[in-house]
Structure 1
Amino acid sequence: MKLLIFIVLILVSPLNQAKDIQYVSDQLVITLRTGQGSTYQIIRTLPSGTKLEVLEVTDTGYARVKTEGGTEGWIRSQYLSPEPIARLKLEAVEKKLNKLKSENTGLRAETQKLRKQRHELESKNRDLLARVKAAESELSRLGEVAAKPILLDKENRKLQQQNISLEKKLQMMAQENQVLKDRSQREWFIAGAVVLLGGIFLGLLLPKIRWKKKSSWK
C-alpha cells in the first residue's frame, strides 16, 4: 500500500515546466497585497494549498505571484512551497486511488461482460456444430436416397437382361420340345406301321403254315 501511495505521489508531482509553480504552505490564511509589505492594500486572502505562479522573487523576502484566476499580487516568499501541502497530496492520492478503483471496477465489469460473451459464443458454436452434424447426416441420407433410383435402375436392367435370357432359353426349350414331339410322333407312326405290316405279314403267313401242316398229316 505504501509503495502504491509513493508511486501515485510521483505521478501527481508537478513536472518540470517553464512556469515556476508553487503552493501556499501549511498556513491558515495569507494575504495577497498590491506591494511588498504589510502596509500595502490587501487584494485577497489565500488559503493554504492555493496554487500560484511565481512571477518574481525579490531579496526582501517577497514574491510576485499570479493566481489561477489571473489575479497578481505580492506575498511573503517564506509561505511558498514547491510541493503541494500534505492535505493536497492526500487528496490527490485519494483521487488517484478512487480513479484506479473506478477503473478496476470498470475492468471487472468488462471482464465479466467478455466472459459472458465468450460463454454465449461457445454456446452458439456448440449449436452450430450440432446443426452442421445434423446437416451432414441429412445430406448423407439424401445421398443414399438419391442413389437408390440408380441402384434400382441397374437392378431393373439386370433383371430385364435375365428375363430376356430366360425367354431365349424357354424358346429354345420349346423348340427342342417340339422337335422331341415330332420325333416321338414319327417313332410312334413307324412303330404302328411296323406292327401293321407285321400283322399283315402274319395274316398272310399263318394260313400257309396251317395248310402245310394239314398236308403233312394226310
Structure 2
Amino acid sequence: MIKPTTYFKTLVSAAVLSVSIFSIQAHAETQYVADTLQVPLRSGMGNQYRIVHRGLPSGTKLELIKTASDDSDVEWAQVRTSGGLEGWIRTQYLLNEPTAAIKLANLEQKMSQLDGDQTELLDTNEALESKNNQLEEQLAQLQDDYQQTNSEFAELRKLSASTVALNEQYKKLNENYQLLQTRAEVLKTDNERLKNSQRYQEWIVGAGILLGGVILSLILQSFGRRKRRSEWG
C-alpha cells in the first residue's frame, strides 16, 4: 500500500514535470539545418592526399575533367575551378544543376528584377496615362477648333455666295447702265438733230417773212408811184 505522503510527493513531481515540459515546449523555436557545405579539394582520389583547397562552398561552379573510382570503390571526380585550380572531389558532392540556395538566389534576383520591371512598367503606364490625358485634351481642343473653323467656313461660304450674287447684280446693273448711257447718247444726238432742224425751220420761216415783207414793200411802193402818175396826168 502506498503511503499518502509518497503519493502526494509523486503528484507534485508529476505536476512540476508537466509544467516544465509545457514551459520548454512553449519557449521552443523552429530551426533549420543550413545547406551550405565546405567540400575539400584534394590532390588525388582519397582522403590521404593533401588538400589543395580547404573548402569549396556549395554551389561553386566547377569544370568536370574526368571521373574514376579508388580502391574502396568510392567514385571521385577530377575538376577545375574558375581560377584554374585542379583537384579531386567526391562525386556525391556534385550536382548536374545549381543548388537550391543558388536557385533561390537566382529566383530572388529575378523577382527583384521583375519588381523593378513592374515598377518601371507602372511608371511607364502612369506616364502613358498622363500622355493619353494630354492627347485627349488636345483632341477635345482640336474638335472645338474644327467646329469653330467649320462654322467660320460656312459663314465664309454664305458671304462668298452673297459676294457672287452681288457681283452678278453689279454686272447686270453695269450692263443696264451702259445700255442706258448708249440710249442717252442716242437721245442726245437725236435732240441735237431736232434742235438743228427746228432752227433751220425757224430760219426758213424768218427768211420767208423777211422776203415777203420786202416784196410787200415793193408792191406798195409800186402802187404809190402809179397813183401819183395818174394824178399828174
Pairing 1:117–2:131 present = yes
Paired letter, 1:130: D
Pairing 1:39–2:48 present = yes
CA RMSD of aligned residues (A): 2.9
- Identical positions, percent: 35
Q: Deviations over 1:161-209 (max 9, x none)?
A: 59x6xx99xx9xxxxxxxxxxxxxxxxxxxxxxxxxxxxxxxxxxxxxx
The residue number in structure 2 matching 1:28 is: 37
Paired letter, 2:65: L
Q: Structure 1: how far apart are the matches of 2:162 and 2:145?
A: 26
The TM-score, its normalising length taken from structure 1, stands at 0.54
Q: Structure 1: how far apart are the matches of 2:100 and 2:161?
A: 88
Question: Which runs of no fewer than 5 residues in structure 2 stay unpaired?
Answer: 1-34, 188-233
Match of 1:93 among 90, 96, 107: 107
Instruction: Give the C-alpha shift of residue 158 in structure 1.
Output: 6.2
Instruction: Give the C-alpha shift of residue 46 in structure 1.
Output: 0.6
Paired letter, 1:34: S
Q: Is the 8 A contact 1:62 1:75 kept in 2?
A: yes
Q: Secondary structure at the match of 1:120?
A: helix
Instruction: Give the C-alpha shift of residue 159 in structure 1.
Output: 6.5
Pairing 1:52–2:68 present = no
Q: Is the 8 A contact 1:36 1:75 kept in 2?
A: yes
Q: Structure 2: how far apart are the matches of 1:76 and 1:48?
A: 13
Name the count of aligned residue pairs.
142
From the CA coordinates, give the structure whose radius of gyration is larger: 2
Instruction: Give the C-alpha shift of residue 149 in structure 1.
Output: 3.4
Q: Structure 2: how far apart are the matches of 1:74 and 1:32?
A: 6
Q: Structure 1: how far apart are the matches of 2:86 and 2:163?
A: 102
Structure 1's 157 and 51: CA in aligned 2 closer, same or farther, altered over 3 A? closer
Instruction: Give the C-alpha shift of residue 154 in structure 1.
Output: 3.9
Paired letter, 1:129: Q
The residue number in structure 2 matching 1:81 is: 95
Which runs of structure 2 are paired with 1:91-170 in the superposition (5 Å)?
91-156=105-170
Paired letter, 2:40: T
Q: Deviations over 1:71-130 (max 9, x none)?
A: 221112222223332222221221122222222222222222222222222211121222
Structure 1's 149 and 76: CA in aligned 2 closer, same or farther, altered over 3 A? closer
Q: Is the 8 A contact 2:41 2:87 kept in 1?
A: yes
Q: Secondary structure at the match of 1:68?
A: coil
Q: Structure 1: how far apart are the matches of 2:133 and 2:36?
A: 59
Instruction: Give the C-alpha shift of residue 138 in structure 1.
Output: 1.9
Paired letter, 1:137: S
Q: Structure 2: how far apart are the matches of 1:119 and 1:113?
A: 10
Instruction: Give the C-alpha shift of residue 131 in structure 1.
Output: 1.6
The residue number in structure 1 matching 2:229 is: none
Structure 1's 69 and 146: CA in aligned 2 closer, same or farther, altered over 3 A? same
Instruction: Give the C-alpha shift of residue 151 in structure 1.
Output: 2.7
